[in-house]
C-alpha cells in the first residue's frame, strides 16, 4: 500500500516536471471572435512605416478587432511609455516594432508579468534581455543579416572585389542596423580590395542620409559605392551625390534595402543599382499568427519573411508589385 502511494507520487512528480518543461511560461491567449490589441509603432516619418501601419490598421478593420495604435515619434522612451499604457488598458495582446534592441526589452517582461502576450514585428530585441519563445511569442520580420550579405555579395560580383564604399547605417541600436552591418561586414572581410571608407548613421531618414552623405563625400571623394541600410537614406544620398556633380549609377553605385516604389523606380531610372526587398505589409501575417497562438498551435520563435530583390533586369516588370 505504502509502496503504491510512493509510486503514484513519483509518477505525479515526473508528470508535473514534464508539463513545466513543456510550458514556455508565455501568457496564454483565449480564443475570441474579436480582440482588443495594441500596436506600438516606432515612428511614421517614412513610407515603410506608413505602409506597415496601414497594413496593421486595414487588417484589424477587416477582422473587426479594436486596435490601440501609438506612434513613438522616434523616441524609445516614448515607446516604452506607450507599451505601459497598453498594459494599463488591458489589451489582449501587443504588437511591438521595437525602435532599439535594448531599451524596449524591459517592457516586454512587464507585459509578460501582466499576462499579455507580445509579438514583435519587423524589429527584434537583444536576446540576452528578453527571449523569443519565452518572454515574447515570436519575431516576425526579415533576416537582416542575410539582407546585408546579399548587398555585399552583389557589390563583390559587380566590382570584382574592388570598391571604395560609404555605408549609411540605420538607427543606432536597432536590430536592422546592427544586422545589416554584420551581414555586410562578413562579406567585405573576404575581399581585401573592398574598403569601407566611412560608416555612419543616417537614422533611416532621407534628409539625415543626405546630410551625412554630403559631409562624407567631402572627406572621401574617391567613393564609388554607397550602401544605404534603407531606401530613404539611399534617396537622400542620391540628392547629395547629384548636388556634388556626381552621377549615381555611373560614378557611384547606390544600393539599398526595402524596395518601396520610389526606390524601385530609381532602379528603373538607373540611379539605384540594386535593392533587397524588406516588405512592410505585416498585417495579415501578424494577426493570423496571433490566432494560431490562441488556438494553441506551436509558434516558431522566428517567422522570417521572404525578401525579393530589384535590379536593372527586373525592376520595370516588378515596379507595380513594390509597396
Ligand atoms: O528598413 C526602414 C524602417 O525596421 C525593417 O525600419 C525596418 C526598417 C526599414 O524605418 O526603412
Check whether 262 has a pLDDT greater than 60.
yes
CATH code, domain carrying 99 = 3.40.50.2300
CA 323/CA 321 separation, integer angstroms: 6
Query: Domain for residue 321, yes or no?
Result: no
- Which pLDDT score, from 0 to 100, does residue 41 have? 98
Residues 239-264: what's their mean pLDDT?
98
Give the domain range for residue 199.
144-278
29 Cα–ligand 1 center, Å? 29
Average pLDDT over residues 227-249: 98
Per-residue pLDDT band at 24 (split at 50, 70, 90): confident
Q: Is 162 helix (H, G, I), strand (E, B) or coil?
A: coil
Is 307 touching ligand 1 by the criterion CB < 6 Å? Answer: no
The count of other CB atoms within 10 Å of the CB of residue 309 is: 19
Shared-domain flag, residues 161 and 236: yes
Model confidence over 82-133: pLDDT tens digits? 999 999 999 999 999 999 999 999 999 999 999 999 999 999 999 999 999 9
| 16-30, 144-158, 176-190, 276-290: the lowest-pLDDT one | 16-30
Closest atom of ligand 1 relative to the 232 alpha carbon: 11
Counting residues of the chain whose pLDDT is more than 90, the rounded percentage is 92
Q: Are residues 261 and 204 in the same domain?
A: yes
What phi and psi values does residue 115 have, to the nearest 5 degrees?
A: 80, 20
Q: What is the pLDDT of residue 133?
A: 97
Whether residues 160 and 129 share a domain: the answer is no
Phi, psi of 24 (to 5 degrees): -75, -15
Distance CA 118, CA 39 (A): 10
Q: Quote the DSSP letter at residue 321.
A: G
Segment 129-140 shows an average pLDDT of: 98
Cβ of 99 below 6 Å from ligand 1: no
CA angle, residues 177, 221, 203, in degrees to nearest 5: 20
Give me the number of domains the chain comprises.
2
Distance of alpha carbon 161 from alpha carbon 97, whole angstroms: 36
What's residue 171's pLDDT? Answer: 98
Classify burial at 185, counting beta carbons within 10 Å of its beta carbon; exposed 0-12, middle 13-18, buried 19 or more. Answer: middle
- Is the pLDDT at 20 greater than 50? The verdict is no
Q: Cell numbers at residue 46, please?
A: 517614412
Residues 158 and 111 in one domain: no
Q: Rounded to an integer, what distance in angstroms lies between the CA atom of residue 222 and that of residue 300?
A: 46
Same structural domain, 94 and 219: no
Share of the chain above pLDDT 70, in %: 93
Instruction: Specify whether the CB–CB gap between 66 and 29 falls below 8 A.
Output: no
Same domain, 50 and 113: yes
Alpha carbon nearest to ligand 1 atom 10, residue: 204
Query: Does one domain contain both 183 and 258?
Result: yes
The CA 121 to ligand 1 mean position distance, Å, reads: 11
Q: Is 105 exposed, middle or buried (0-12, 13-18, 19+ CB in 10 A)?
A: buried
Average pLDDT over residues 74-89: 98
pLDDT of the residue at 23: 57
* Mean pLDDT value across the chain: 94
In whole angstroms, what is the distance from residue 314 CA to residue 87 CA?
A: 45
Total-model pTM: 0.92
Amino acid at each position: 500500500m505504502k509502496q503504491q502511494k510512493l509510486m503514484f507520487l513519483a509518477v505525479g512528480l515526473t508528470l508535473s516536471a514534464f508539463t513545466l518543461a513543456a510550458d514556455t511560461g508565455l501568457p496564454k491567449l483565449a480564443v475570441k471572435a474579436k480582440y482588443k490589441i495594441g500596436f506600438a509603432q516606432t515612428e511614421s516619418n517614412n513610407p515603410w512605416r506608413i505602409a506597415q501601419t496601414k497594413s496593421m490598421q486595414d487588417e484589424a478593420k477587416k477582422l473587426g478587432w479594436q486596435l490601440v495604435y501609438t506612434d513613438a515619434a522616434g523616441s524609445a522612451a516614448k515607446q516604452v511609455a506607450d507599451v505601459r499604457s497598453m498594459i494599463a488598458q488591458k489589451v489582449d495582446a501587443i504588437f511591438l516594432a521595437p525602435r532599439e534592441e535594448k531599451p524596449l526589452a524591459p517592457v516586454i517582461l512587464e507585459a509578460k508579468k501582466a499576462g499579455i502576450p507580445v509579438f514583435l514585428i519587423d524589429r527584434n530585441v537583444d536576446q540576452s534581455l528578453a527571449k523569443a519563445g519565452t518572454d515574447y511569442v515570436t519575431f516576425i520580420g526579415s533576416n537582416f543579416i542575410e539582407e546585408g550579405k546579399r548587398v555585399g555579395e552583389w557589390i563583390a560580383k559587380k566590382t570584382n572585389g574592388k570598391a571604395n564604399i560609404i555605408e549609411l547605417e540605420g538607427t543606432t541600436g536597432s536590430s536592422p542596423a546592427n544586422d545589416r552591418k554584420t551581414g555586410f561586414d562578413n562579406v567585405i572581410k573576404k575581399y581585401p580590395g573592398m574598403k569601407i571608407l566611412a560608416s555612419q548613421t543616417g537614422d533611416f531618414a532621407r534628409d539625415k542620409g543626405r546630410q551625412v552623405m554630403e559631409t562624407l563625400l567631402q572627406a572621401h571623394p574617391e567613393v564609388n559605392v554607397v550602401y544605404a541600410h534603407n531606401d530613404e537614406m539611399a534617396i537622400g544620398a542620391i540628392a547629395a551625390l547629384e548636388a556634388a556633380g556626381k552621377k549615381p549609377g555611373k560614378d557611384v553605385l547606390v544600393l539599398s534595402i526595402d524596395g518601396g516604389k520610389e526606390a524601385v523606380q530609381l532602379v528603373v531610372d538607373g540611379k539605384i543599382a540594386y535593392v533587397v526587398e524588406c516588405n512592410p505589409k505585416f498585417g495579415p501575417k501578424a494577426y493570423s499568427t496571433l490566432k494560431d497562438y490562441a488556438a494553441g498551435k506551436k509558434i516558431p520563435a522566428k517567422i522570417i519573411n521572404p525578401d525579393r530583390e530589384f535590379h536593372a533586369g527586373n525592376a520595370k516588370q516588378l515596379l507595380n508589385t513594390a509597396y
